[in-house]
Structure 1
Amino acid sequence: MKVIVLSTSKKYDDEEQIVSEMFKQGLQYFHLRKPNFSKSAMMNYLDAIPKKYHNRIVLHSKHSLAKTYNVKGIHLTKKHRQRVLRTWWQIKQIKSNKPNLIITTSFHSLETITGNKNNYNYVFLSPVFDSISKKNYQGKFNDSNLKLVLDNLKTKVIALGGVDITTIKEVQEMGFDGMGFLGGIWKSTNPLAQFINVKKECERRNLSLA
C-alpha cells in the first residue's frame, strides 16, 4: 500500500530538512504542492533536498522542472486537465526524455474516476474522511459502495482527506491502493515523529510504504 505525504500549500518551518529526514526514514512518495511558489522558489526547495531523493518527488506545479530534475512525476490539477492541449504537449515533451515519469491527478467523486479515460499511475480520491487541514470539508463516501467500486477499478486510487494514523486500518479495509497524509502529518506538533509513527503502524499491519 502506497504511503504518500503531501506538502502543505504554504511553507513550513525547516520543511526541506523534515522531508529529507522522512525520505531517510523510508518515505517513497512525496507530493510537492506549492501553488504560489515561483520557479526559483521551487528550485531552491528541490536543491535543499539531497539529489538521491529527487526520484521520490511528484511536482504539482512548475512541471517544466521535471526536464532538469530527476523527479518521480508530475501531478495534474483540475486546471491542468482543463488545458487539454497545452498539458498534453508539455507531458509529451517531458516524457520523450523521461518515459518512466509518472502522472497523477485528484478526483472528488467516484463518477469522475469511473468516467476517466486517461491513464494515470494513480489518482487521489477526497475527502474520504473529515478533513484535518480544511474546515467544513467532510467525508462523503459510503463505505460499502466505495469498496465495491474500488474492487472493480483498474486505476489505483489513493485515499485523501482526514487520513491519519488512526484511519490506516479503515483505509486498508475499504480497498484503497494507498493513503495520502497531509494534515495527519503537518498538523501534528512534530511532523517527522508523526511520520515515523505512521511507518511503525504500517509495519505492524504488514503494509509496505511503497
Structure 2
Amino acid sequence: MGADPMLLIAVTPHDPVDNEWHKVEALLQSGWHRVHLRHPDSTLADMRWIIESIDQKYHNRIVLHGHFDLINDFNLGGLHLNHRCPSAPSLYHGPLSRSCHSLQEIYDAEDMEYVTISPIFDSISKQGYRSAFNHEDLTKLSHASVPLIALGGISPDNIEEIRQYNFAGFAMLGAIPWHGTVEDVNKFAKQALSIC
C-alpha cells in the first residue's frame, strides 16, 4: 500500500454491461470506495433495475451521474454534477461531487465533497480525448481547497505518477475490464487496490 490512502472510484461505461450489478459489487467488496453510475441514455426503469440488483449494503457507496429522481428511492452515496446535469434537485441536501475540466471550474466548486478533474492523461475510453493539463497546471492544484480526484487515462501503471500532485484519489473507467467477466473485474480491483 502507498503512504497516503487515496479515494478509489470506479466509473461505469456509457452503456450498461453484462452482469454490471455483480461487477459493481466486486469492486466495492474488494475495497473500492465508490462506484459512479453513468448510463446517460438509459431509461429511469433500467437504472432502477441496476440499482435494485446491487446488494443494499453497497447502495450508500453508489453515486448517480444522472437520473437524479432515483435519489429519493434509494439510500445512495450522492449525486455527481456534470454538463448534462449541472444542478441537484431543489430539495436535495446530500453529498455532491462535480466534473471539472479546468482550473477555474475547480475553484468554482469548492462547496463539493470532491471534484473529478480530467483528462489527466490521454483517455483510455474516449478516442482522441487528450490530456488537458501539464505539469505546471497540476502543480497549481496544490492550492485547491476541495478534494481532487484524478480522472482520464488513469490505470495501475500511472497511479504512482499522480501521487506527486494534490490528488485525494483517482477514478478509473477505461482501465477497468467492464466488458470482461466478473472474475476479471475482481482481479483488477484487487490489483489496483494493492498499488494504493
Q: TM-score, normalized by length of structure 1?
A: 0.84
Structure 2 equivalent of residue 201 of structure 1: 195
Note if 1:73 corresponds to 2:65. no
What is the letter of the counterpart of residue 83 of structure 2? K
CA-CA distance at 1:14 after TM superposition:
1.1
Deviations 1:166-188 (A, max 9, x none): 11101111221110010011368
Q: Which consecutive residues of structure 2, in runs of 5 or more, have no partner in the other structure?
A: 1-5
CA RMSD of aligned residues (A): 1.6
Match of 1:30 among 35, 49, 63: 35
Residue aligned with 1:104, SS: strand
1:44-193 map, 5 Å: 44-81=49-86, 87=87, 90=89, 92-95=90-93, 101-114=94-107, 116=108, 119-147=111-139, 149-186=140-177, 189=180, 190-193=184-187
1:187–1:16 distance in 2 versus 1, CA, 3 Å: closer
Report the number of matched residues: 188
Moved segments of 4+, more than 2 Å: 186-192
**Residues in 2 aligned to 1:188 and 1:178: alpha-carbon distance in whole angstroms:** 24
Task: Please give the alpha-carbon distance, in whole angstroms, between the structure 2 residues aligned to 1:79 and 1:145.
Answer: 26
Task: For residue 58 of structure 1, give the secondary structure of its aligned residue in structure 2.
Answer: strand
Distance 1:102 1:130, change over 3 A: same
1:25, 1:176 → 2: CA distance?
22
- In 2: Cα distance, 1:26 partner to 1:125 partner: 22
Shift of 1:79: 3.0
Gaps of 5+ in 1: 82-86, 96-100, 203-210
Contact 1:6–1:32 at 8 Å: present in 2 too?
yes
Cα distance, 1:153 vs. partner? 0.9
Deviation at 1:17, TM superposition (A): 0.7
**Sequence identity (%):** 31
Superposed CA deviations along residues 64-105 of structure 1, whole A, max 9, x for unmatched, are 211110000001111322xxxxx45x1x4132xxxxx21011
Return the alpha-carbon distance in structure 2 between the equivalents of residues 106 and 67 of structure 1.
22
Q: Which has the higher helix share?
A: 1
